[in-house]
Each structure stands twice: as structure tokens, then as C-alpha cells.
């Protein structure tokens, strides 16, 4: 594969990224989109439906990497828009705090990502769209 660079310094070539994945934990954000009723109780939880490499349907959370130089808030907003579209209208508070932290490892265990060691900040995000 050729080493084609983009003007965005926050991204690696495919080869560089594979090398990074084998050497360093990567930071991700994940979001659980929810709808709330007038009293603030969760009425619906949103999951994405994706087709895996075997052609099977799987549910997934909104998720993506945090780019170099990008705030966690901006990464969360970018990935919500990427996965849900511009009309989801997420309601992020002024100060975002993860509901939990998930850690994925490239070997057997509870949370597995065969590609890498990843640390993910997981947020519950009300949406109105």
C-alpha cells in the first residue's frame, strides 16, 4: 500500500497506524444515545446495527478515536454526528464526565478488541432528534 498523506497531521497512514496499535493504548470515546421523558427518565436506548466481517448483524455503540490535539468533547460530538447524523441533536452538558471507562485488550478476557489495547471514555448522551 502506498504511503499517501493527507493534510491532516492527526491521522497516520494505514501502515503507521497498525504499528501504533501494536505498541500503545489508544483513546476512544463511546456514547450510549438515550431519549428522556419530561421527568428525565430514560425511555429509549439507541444502538447502531452494523454488519461484521462475517456478514452478521451486530449491535454497537457510537464510538471513535480521539484525534491528536482534539478535546474529548469535540471527539464525542464528531463521532455522534458521524454515526447518528446531524439531526440527532445530542445534548451535552457544559462539563462532560464519562459514565464509565472501558478498557479493551487484544487477548481473551471480558472486553476484547483483537486489533489493539484501547481505553474508552463512555458517555450517556441524551438526544432529541
Task: Indicate the domain borders of the chain.
Answer: 24-126
Residue 10's pLDDT band, with cuts at 50, 70 and 90, is: low
103-128: pLDDT as tens digits: 999 999 999 999 999 999 999 999 99
Nine-digit cell at 40?
A: 428525565
* pLDDT for res 100: 98
What secondary structure letter does DSSP report for 90? B
Read off the pLDDT band of 42 (50, 70, 90).
very high
Residue 115 per-residue DSSP state: T
Q: What class, spelled out in words, does domain 24-126 have in CATH?
A: alpha beta
How far apart (Å, rounded) are the C-alpha atoms in residues 28 and 97?
14
DSSP symbols for 21-70: HHHS-EEEEEEEEEEE-TTS-EEEE--EEEE-TTS-EEEE-EEEEPPTT-
Give per-residue pLDDT as tens, 50-87: 998 899 999 999 999 999 999 999 999 999 999 999 89
Amino acid at each position: 500500500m502506498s504511503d499517501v498523506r493527507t493534510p491532516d497531521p492527526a491521522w497516520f497512514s494505514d501502515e503507521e497506524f497498525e504499528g501504533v496499535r501494536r505498541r500503545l493504548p489508544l483513546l476512544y470515546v463511546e456514547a450510549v444515545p438515550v431519549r428522556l421523558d419530561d421527568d428525565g427518565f430514560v425511555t429509549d436506548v439507541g444502538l447502531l446495527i452494523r454488519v461484521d466481517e462475517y456478514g452478521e448483524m451486530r449491535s454497537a455503540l457510537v464510538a471513535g478515536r480521539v484525534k491528536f490535539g482534539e478535546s474529548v468533547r469535540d471527539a464525542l460530538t464528531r463521532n455522534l454526528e458521524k454515526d447518528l447524523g446531524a439531526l440527532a441533536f445530542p445534548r451535552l452538558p457544559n462539563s462532560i464526565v464519562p459514565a464509565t471507562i472501558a478498557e479493551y485488550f487484544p487477548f481473551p478476557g471480558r472486553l476484547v478488541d483483537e486489533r489493539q489495547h484501547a481505553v474508552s471514555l463512555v458517555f450517556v448522551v441524551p438526544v432529541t432528534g
